[in-house]
Chains A and B, each alone.
Chain A
Amino acid sequence: MAAVSGMRERIRPGFSRPRLPRKAGFLVGSGFIVALLAISYFVPTPYPPNATDANQTFVPPGAAHWLGTDNIGRDVLSRVMAAARTDLPLAILGTAAALAIGIPLGLVASTRSRAAGLIMRCLDMLQAFPLLILAIVLVALAGSNIYNIIPAIALIGGPTCIRLVRSAALSIRESRFAEASYAMGSTTSEVMRRHILPNVAPNIVAQASLIVAGGLIVVSALSFLGIGIKPPTASWGAMLSDGRDAALIGYWWVAVIPGVLIFLAVLSFNLIADGIEGALHGD
């Protein structure tokens, strides 16, 4: 056994090694997200997230406040936990909306109907708009309800989802089993439900993970700018923005902790997508 693997390594150095980081990345990513959700939902916050304490401002991380306190004495750990309950569901719900729009429209767009042409023309048109800017504008104009962020994420993620489902459906439709199903009298919708959708599902899951990552960036950007999510509500982007001034005078933890959490969460969703893609393409 050892000799065989040794030979293989000599012929193509590192041939079997690149598999591991991908798998490990997938496990680490999904593990981090599950842990984050579990901790923020099931573990009680050590302090009320919005409770201020004038005697405890800018306490460095320590025994009483594990991650320190901010400029008005709020516990940073409690606030990042509360923020996870705001930010992650928004990104996930936005992705769900993107999929709810993207999957049916993508399937319709893969047919030869007139509606398919119309959908593709609309997508071409939408491409001219810088979607992130349009989404921020929509949230800004629609008012300070945080749920307005959900359609904004759907607007950004929907078009990529439609394109993905369409191109995958187009290639699967040409395969033997889909052709056989047509030959046996299945209707287009039956073929879609039984053959196309199950085969596109892994790609959709990978794409969904990327949309959640993008959605999280949008949610945090909006709350960083103070658009959509209003001050007392804890959100990673808003905490990062609040922490900027504190960081300038040396209180690094107020900004660094939410910043690192945004990074880790986005990284995790990217790793999940990467792992699924890797498993699909066999490398």
Chain B
Amino acid sequence: MSQQPLGGSTIKDGPANAQVAGRSISLSFPSRVSWYAEHRQLINYCLKRLAFIPLGVFIIVTVCFALVNLVPVNPGRQILGDLATTEAIDAINRRLGFDLPISDRYVVYMKRLAAGDLGTSFYTGASVRDDIARLLPRTLELTLPALVLAFIFGLFLGWLTARTPVRLSGRLAKGVYTVLQATPEYVSAVLLILILFSQLHWAAAPLGRMGIGDVPPKPVTGFLYIDAILGGRFELLPIMLNHAILPTIVLVLGISPLFARISRSNFREAMSSGHVEFARASGLPRRQVFGYVLRSARAPLVTVLGLGFAGAIGGAAIIESIFSWGGIGQWAVTAMQTLDLVQVQGFVLLTATTSLVVYLLIDIVVAALDPRISYGRS
């Protein structure tokens, strides 16, 4: 009788692989192989995906360049208006580098980007990079809390509709979901302002982060909440929270249908799986059953939460404009309305690069969470 491998020291190949239905499924045995050997596939997968980032960024940068340089907009004419003379327009275009052939412009653009220069605004002359650094925290202050609340609310809706589709609670949840899904954010924003501010006077005016007379805190981090605390301006916090309520509600109502849809279908699938049915049949408490359901549905939930994060920068642009929030989204909407090409370019670059990185992180987290996913092929 040959010697049985005891412990893990004799297993060199890491987890054994089985081919099931054309998919490679890793069967990990409890063994004392090194951490690297155990996670080798996952690490290789991560490295492979990370190697894709430079290519992705290159394509994004090139598309951003094309976006601005291939459109039929004459920057000089745009800046100076319809009454300007041709000489003045040509002078502006020369100063901005728009008189060069497109290949030269591409080289200049890439060189500047490599130095971290995103260009300067046509109208204000402000550096796009500084604007983004200054305004991005303000947007995140709105979108991140809204995202968390929307996730909780969406999961709640999804759970209600998946658990008891025929009961009253399930039908109500389905009805709420159907209405929310058909209401664009700008519609609910205008209607809620009309009801909660104009008619009932419950909410603060949709005119920015604080009252008109309030002096904003000294900028330190860019996050107004943190700056108010650091500067000892605690009286500003309730005012700012009061102004944040309405836009947050609108965003939560706008994003939660996505979470509700994904969680509903995955909860349903999880609830019909063997271990959950057994748990219910055994009479385990509802909370514990929900825990099992949540566990089996975690991979798609992480994916969709990640999608929410990816949209957290640009996703609130219209809401920001309606509520004069003063973040990066409102800045971008103004840039699009005034055709400030450099700012628009910077915004697309920012959102696309963020999405690229977030999607990559999602893939890695999901691969780590779900052992059924094969890392071999992308």
A residues at B contact (CB < 8 Å): 13-15, 17-18, 125, 127-130, 132-134, 136-138, 140-143, 213, 217, 220-221, 224-227, 237, 240-241, 243-244, 247-250, 252, 255-256, 259, 262-264, 266-267, 270-271
* Contacts beyond the supplied A141-B73, A248-B193, A263-B183: 5 A-B pairs with Cβ under 8 Å: A133-B317, A138-B67, A225-B318, A240-B186, A256-B191
Query: Is B91 an interface position by the 8 A CB rule?
Result: no
List residues 181-212 of chain B with CB under 8 A from any CB of chain A: 181-184, 186-187, 190-191, 193-194, 197-199
**What count of chain B residues pass the 8 Å CB interface test?**
48
Proximity bits, B328-370, A CB within 8 Å = 1, else 0: 0000110011010100100110011001100100000000000
Interface stretch, picked from B38-46, B56-64, B138-146, is B56-64
Contacts of B240 in A (CB 8 A): none
A-B contact pairs, 21 of them (CB 8 A): A129-B355, A130-B311, A130-B351, A130-B355, A133-B317, A136-B336, A213-B182, A220-B187, A221-B184, A225-B337, A227-B337, A237-B186, A241-B186, A243-B190, A244-B193, A259-B191, A263-B182, A266-B182, A270-B178, A270-B181, A271-B178
For B59, the chain A residues whose CB sits under 8 A away are: 125
B220 within 8 A of A: no
A125 touches B72 (CB 8 A): no
Contact A224 B314 (CB under 8 A): no
A57 to B150, CA, bound (A): 40
Q: How far is the CB of A129 from chain B (nearest CB, A)?
A: 5
Kindly report which residue of chain A lies nearest to residue B184, judged by CB atoms: A217
Q: How far is the CB of B167 from chain A (nearest CB, A)?
A: 8
Of B187, B314, B347, most A-chain CB atoms within 10 Å: B187
B165 touches A128 (CB 8 A): no
B187 near A240 (CB under 8 angstroms)?
Answer: yes
Which chain B residues have a beta carbon within 8 Å of chain A's beta carbons?
Answer: 56, 59-60, 63, 67-68, 71-73, 165-166, 178-179, 181-184, 186-187, 190-191, 193-194, 197-199, 310-311, 314-315, 317-318, 321-322, 332-333, 336-337, 339, 341, 344, 347-348, 351-352, 355-356, 359
Chain B at the A interface: SS class: helix
Residue of B nearest to A262 (CB): B187
- Cα A237 to Cα B187 in complex, Å, equals 9
Chain B residues with Cβ under 8 A from A213's Cβ? Answer: 182
Q: Establish whether residues B336 and A225, one from each chain, have CB atoms under 8 Å apart when the complex forms.
A: yes
Q: Are B67 and A137 in contact (CB under 8 A)?
A: yes
Contact of B198 among A143, A225, A248, A259 (CB under 8 A): A248
Do B190 and A247 have beta carbons less than 8 Å apart?
yes
Q: A227 — which chain B residues lie within 8 A by C-beta?
A: 336-337
Q: How far is the CB of B7 from chain A (nearest CB, A)?
A: 42
Q: Given A127-B359, A141-B344, are A244 and B190 also a contact pair (CB < 8 Å)? A: yes
Assess the A141–B341 pair: CB atoms within 8 A: yes
A125 to B194, CA, bound (A): 41
Give Cα distance in the complex from A36 to B68, angstroms: 39
Give 5 closest A-B pairs by Cβ, nearest first: A267-B182, A14-B166, A140-B336, A141-B71, A128-B356
